Amino acid sequence: MKKIVSFVLAMICLFALAGCGGTQKTEAPAQKPAAAEKVLRVGTDADYPPFEYYREASKTYTGFDIELMNAVAKGMGYSKVEYVNLEFNNLLPSLNDKQVDVVISCMGITEERSKMADFSEPYLDSGFVVVGPADAKAGGLDAIKDKKLTAEVGTLPAKVAKEYSKDVVECSGAEEALNLVVNKKADFAIMDNYTAKAYVSNNFKAKLAICAEIPDTKDKGIGIAVAKGNKELLAKLNEALRSYRDSAAFVQLKKTYFGNL
């Protein structure tokens, strides 16, 4: 009997030891490190609806250019886009300073700008218009000659304004230019046709109207800029831009922001 009891006790101890760590542990497989985000830094002047503007409520940038750039960046293989809000005059220099990788800001492609940066193929045609008081008498372009004109500093509209008048007030943005006209501190404003339509329709109804179109401004459309000589980035940008321009999403994007303009 003692032998049986001893045998049973020995077996209990053996099982107890096995339960206390006799079984070999299996290590959890090492987790792969998360892939680093591929970030595209984009410079813009976010004060130019419907192209680019900042929504304070959601703390996000939005607009035609923003949605276009997001789609193109995705097509280039970027997982994230970071926007840097800069004054228009500082956008192209920010490429040379490597503050940003690309610039998008309703920027017309001109020979002068092409000396400072390289541009993508145009993604929109551009044109400029004259905006004046809604009750202004029709007079076409003759009506703005030698009048007090206003336009955003550093832009092509500012340059065009100086061709029609020596009295040009250069301001910080399109909305400021239109407010100068409303408050009778300027007679007319000159700006991009898409922006003028958006502001007049949504913000200045019954106060302002598009009075005339500026004829051939000799620019080559609106494009995206990269640092001078960055051929690799430019090639990838153009490839993704072409693909997006051919998509139904691009057609819908234009309708969303510009209607039938």
Residues forming beta bridges with residue 85, ordered by sequence position: 44
Read off the tokens for 210: 């598009």
Q: What is the pLDDT of residue 103?
A: 98
Residues 6+ apart with CB under 8 A from 237: 72, 76, 102, 120, 224, 226
Domains and CATH numbers, the chain: 39-125+219-258 (3.40.190.10), 128-213 (3.40.190.10)
Q: What is the pLDDT of residue 16?
A: 43
Q: What is the pLDDT of residue 48?
A: 87
Q: What is the pLDDT of residue 3?
A: 42
Instruction: Judge whether 187 and 144 are in contact, CB under 8 Å.
Output: yes
Closest by CA to 253, choosing from 68, 111, 85, is 68
Distance of CA 23 to the CA centre of its chain: 60
Q: What is the pLDDT of residue 47?
A: 85
Q: What is the pLDDT of residue 88?
A: 92
Residues 6+ apart with CB under 8 A from 166: 146
pTM, two decimal places: 0.77
Which stretches of the chain drop beneath a pLDDT of 70? Answer: 1-35, 138, 216-219, 260-261
Q: What is the pLDDT of residue 36?
A: 74
Cα separation, 110 vs 93, in Å, equals 16
Task: Give how far Cα 197 sits from Cα of 156, 190, 213, 227, Å.
Answer: 18, 12, 12, 31
